[in-house]
Each structure stands twice: as C-alpha cells, then as structure tokens.
Structure 1
C-alpha cells in the first residue's frame, strides 16, 4: 500500500517511474538541467541476509542499469522491519541513504545523511501518516444523536399528554407552508428529532447505529456530524420542494432523511475505495439500499423523497470531502 501511494504521489512532484528489472526495487527520477535526481526504494525481505553489506550490491546493479547524460544524484530508501541491523549501510556520505521502519511506519534519517532531498522527506512522511492504522474511535456523534432522539421520544410519549404531543408535532414537524410563509426554518432541523411511535424510533435508531458507527469511525466526529445534519437539511429541502411542486400538504417527521445521507456517504466511500470499508462490501450495501427504498415505496406515510434526497446528498457530500482530502494530500509542499 505504501509503495502504491508513493507511485501515485511522486509523479505529482515531477518524478518519472523508471523501469528496473530487480524484484522489490522501485526507482523514480526527476530530470533537471544540472542533474538527475534519483530515488530508489528497496523493499527488503522480512528476513535480512546474514551479511547486510550484500544489500549494497543491489545499489550497484541499479546504477549499472541506469544511464544518464550528466550528473546523477541518488537517494536510496530501505524499507525493512529491522532498521537497526542495516543502520551501518547509512554511514557513507557519497549517496544519501534513508530507512523506513515498516512496522512502525516511520522514516529514519541519521545525522550524517542528507535530510532535504527534493522534498522527499515531506512526501514520504505524508504517505506514512496517511497509511498508518488509526485506533478505532468511539462513535460519540452517533451515540449522542441517538440519545437526543430517545430523550425527546421519552418526553413526548411518557411525559406529555396526547394533546400536548400532537401540538408539539404540529409545531416542529416539516411542513412547507410554515417554512415558506411563516419563515419557520427551524422545522427543517427539529423534524429530524421527532418520531411518530416506538417502531419508527427503533427502526431509525438501529439503522443509524449500524451505519453511523462505520462512517464516524472512518471520517471522524466532526465530518460525521457535518454529513448527518447537512444531509438531513438537504433531504428536508428536497421533500418540501417535491410537495410544493405537487401541491401536497404533508407534515414530515423523522431522522430517516439524515440517516439515508449517512448511507449515501458510506456508499461513496465503499465505491471509491475498491469496494470494501471495514467489512462492508459494495454488494451488501447495494442490497441494503434496495431493500430500504423498496420497502418505503410500498408502505404508506413514508417520505420517500426525503430518503432519495438524503441518499443523494450524503453521496455528493462524501465525494466532496474525499476530493478535498485527496487534493490536500497531493498538493506539493514547499519550504
């Protein structure tokens, strides 16, 4: 994975891939007027040879295989599980030698070595940080949203009378005349926390926990909350627009629009990461989306436009976040 990302990153910084014949050795060159800057990655086996100095023979073979007109400057980067055993290879000053500790995902540059080579230090460390396994986080955002929904349900159905409950739904549900004529824009958000009954609440919250915990663990708390609430708001806008066009006076409540936004975001992450994120496959997700949408088509009192709007909004928002992150990682750094 590290070498795949290096292969993607270096061309963005002016390097070209060299065709080398030795197995486990990958070379890149940046051709400039005064010299050719070469970076050679040597992916060492798990078990190092007894005589580590024999590794230097690979360097000589690489140099013999490459021919440049003019001056050629070399940086050799060893990738190994045992950096201490090959530290002796970094003692000379003729060529630059760095080590990547494979297990620790850490770049080692010793004192006698050049530490500023065509911005390679920043590039390598950026890729190492990107591919470093992240500790699974507690889904505080998901749990918090579920907690608020449950609390509001308890207040509505345990502490309020039927008349008070109906009045609360009428004053907080998504109803387009109240939003457009009375400017009660808060309804777009408050309607996401109101549910019509225990089955409605349980179905939404179980789904939110199952899907939301995956997405929040992948993108973090802040981005998850952004995806959830923006998707929910956009889902409400789509639902209202549909009702306005069809002149339908429908009051809509529930978190399903925002939840479908999280489903759409997860779909985006899966499809753009070769079909797998944290044990959820693309076919399984497609089957889930199909069942969720199709069940709504045949059931009454289901705001399918909010589902569609949330699903599309979540997918597009996730795509934007991924493109922004990719752009940030690919942007060359300057000193």
Structure 2
C-alpha cells in the first residue's frame, strides 16, 4: 500500500484531505449532519518517534482546526502506518480511537481496547488492504455512476449539498427501523383496540402452556399508550445509535432482540413465583438491554464512550429502576432481565472480538 492509494481510497469514500506542514501527519474528513468524522494518518514508517503527549497534542490541533470554523463535534480516529506493532503500542494503549495498518502484511490491527468500528469504515478498510488497486477501481466505477445520476438531478442543488450526498452519512439503520416499526404498530393498535395486545402481548400461560413462543418477540413491539411508546423510543434513539455504531448493525440487532426475550423470560419467572396472571407489553426490556450493552462498552473503553461516562450511566440506570419500583403497572422484572441479558451478550461479543483480534493480529 502506498500513500497515493490511501489518498484515492479516502477520496472514494467521500473524505477530503487536509495536508499538514509535516507530511507524516495528515488527516481526512467528511461532514455529517451535525458533526465531522476524521481519519488522522500517522506514517510511522519514516523513523518517526513521538510520545503520547505529542500524539494527543496533534489530535487537539485537529479539533482546533475545526473549532476555527465553528465546528465542535469532531470524531477522530487515528490510523498509524507501521510494520512493527511494538513501536506504536504505547500510543494505542492510551487512545481507544487508534488503529494500526501493517503495510508489510496489508493488515488492519485493532487492539483489545480499541473501538470495534468507526462509522462502518472498518470493513471497507480491510477490503481495501486486501487488494488496493481493485478496490480503488471499483470505487471509481461507483463514483462515475453517481456522477451520471447527479447530472440528471435538478440544477438547483448546490456544491455543499452534493458533497453531503456524496460523503454518505452514517445512519443507524437498525435503530431507526425498530423505532419506525414500533410507531407503526402503535398506530395500528389505535384502530384495532385490544386485538393485537391479546394476540401478541406476553402472557406467561399462553407462552408455556399454549407454546406461543412468538409472544416473547411480538410483545416488544406493543405499547399501551403514547407516553409508554415515547419514553421507550426517546431513550432508545439516543443510546441505541452509539451501541449500533460500535457493534455493527447485525450484532446490535441480536443484542436488542435477545435482551427483549431475556426480559420476558425473567418476567415470566417472576409472574410464576408471585402467582400473577397479567399481559405485558413494551420494548423496555430490549431498551434496558441496550443500556446494559452501553455500560459494557463504557467499561471496555476506560470509563467513557464519546460523551457517555460510567457515572452518568449508573445514575440513569438507578433512576430508571427506582422510577419503575415506585410507579404502577411497571414490569421491573423485564427491565432487570433485559439489562442483564444485553450486558452479558455485549460482554461476550466484545470478549470474542478481543480474542479474535489477539489471535489474528497479534494484538495485546
């Protein structure tokens, strides 16, 4: 892999290059809706040696560059090009947003304390490293087709709008899709009365004796009223995006569904123990599972993830559980079961990913 190929790759992915006075330190960026994503490239192949303090100073200078343009939400991931991982280990240990490109084996090295993905770019970088010329040619072909489509659009679209379209903003597809589904189901319920609640709500006797196992899933998409729906979806929207970004779409969807099922199973056990006979519904168990997964991620990233810290999460969790305990008709068992299920599965996925990275990339 040569620098020109990296330039072409980044350009093909919609990133703009900003060279610096020192050629070993360059960065690429593209603008999202309300923030900027940045790849900070450090070429460690040129007998370079920097301390962790110097490294973070460079990142601060990048943030200052955008602050001068009144842009303050800047997400930076460093790509260090180095054939000897030991030379840059001191930087990787200090920064969870730091990946290493081994130019000898054309391999992406991600250490155990690093983010698993960065706005969907991990898989693209890995594909690029396997065969840079082929990937670049494919990207150029797609770009040519996009340019053809662009010509037939209305002439009123300005340069900034075209750049936004071309850059391809990261979208949390699973989070958005689940919210839309929940809203649509609720709208249908307003016209059908209790029919869907009776057919799809979680009812312990129907689940075990009637073998209606589907209720463990369908009940997650039913809400009793607007407040119930809104309180679940607003938390889910803000927290789910971060979990989806770090685990990826598929793993995130598995965490959500599994946590919801686990919440219903714990709820069933509690109802049997207390001899209760109720129908429960709501995405709370799955949402608490997302909160549990976020807590695992925060712990794995030294106590903070973007603007979320462990202390803030623990306060939110404690308040949510307290509100459930003092409130009426709240399925606290589902909350606790979903939280534990989401946290456990997130930990297993994180630990498995760490083991894979250690085995394949010799990361520590």
Bucket of the pairwise TM-score, normalised by the shorter protein:
0.5 to 0.7
| Structure 1 Cα separation of the partners of residues 116 and 201 of structure 2 | 44
Aligned-pair CA distance for 1:193: 0.5
From 74, 78, 81, give the equivalent of 1:106: 81
Match of 1:112 in 2: none
Residues 1:134 and 2:124 aligned together: no
| TM-score under structure 1 length normalisation | 0.62
From 330, 339, 343, give the equivalent of 1:315: 343
- Using the TM superposition, name which of 135-144 and 194-203 deviates more: 135-144
Aligned-pair CA distance for 1:245: 1.6
From 246, 251, 276, give the equivalent of 2:279: 251
Match of 1:264 in 2: 292
| Structure 2 Cα separation of the partners of residues 218 and 133 of structure 1 | 5
Match of 2:31 in 1: none
| Structure 2 Cα separation of the partners of residues 47 and 321 of structure 1 | 39
Aligned alpha-carbon RMSD (Å): 3.1
Q: Secondary structure at the match of 1:105?
A: strand
| Structure 2 Cα separation of the partners of residues 323 and 207 of structure 1 | 26
Task: Map 1:6-85 onto structure 2 (within 5 A).
Answer: 81=43
Residues 1:154 and 2:138 aligned together: no
Match of 2:67 in 1: none
Q: Give yes or no for contact 2:267–2:334 (8 Å, CA) kept in 1.
A: yes
Residues 1:306 and 2:289 aligned together: no
Q: Give yes or no for contact 2:42–2:80 (8 Å, CA) kept in 1.
A: no
Q: Secondary structure at the match of 2:275?
A: coil
Residues 1:285 and 2:313 aligned together: yes
Aligned-pair CA distance for 1:133: 7.4
| Structure 1 Cα separation of the partners of residues 43 and 285 of structure 2 | 48
Match of 1:37 in 2: none
Structure 1: gaps (5+ residues): 1-45, 49-78, 88-101, 110-118
| Structure 2 Cα separation of the partners of residues 227 and 131 of structure 1 | 17
Match of 2:241 in 1: 213
Q: Give yes or no for contact 1:81–1:103 (8 Å, CA) kept in 2.
A: no
Larger relative contact order (C-alpha < 8 A, sep ≥ 6)?
2
Aligned-pair CA distance for 1:134: 1.9
Q: Secondary structure at the match of 1:141?
A: helix
Task: Give the aligned length.
Answer: 230
Structure 2: gaps (5+ residues): 1-20, 24-40, 49-76, 85-101, 121-169
Match of 1:33 in 2: none
Q: Secondary structure at the match of 1:331?
A: helix
Match of 1:198 in 2: 226
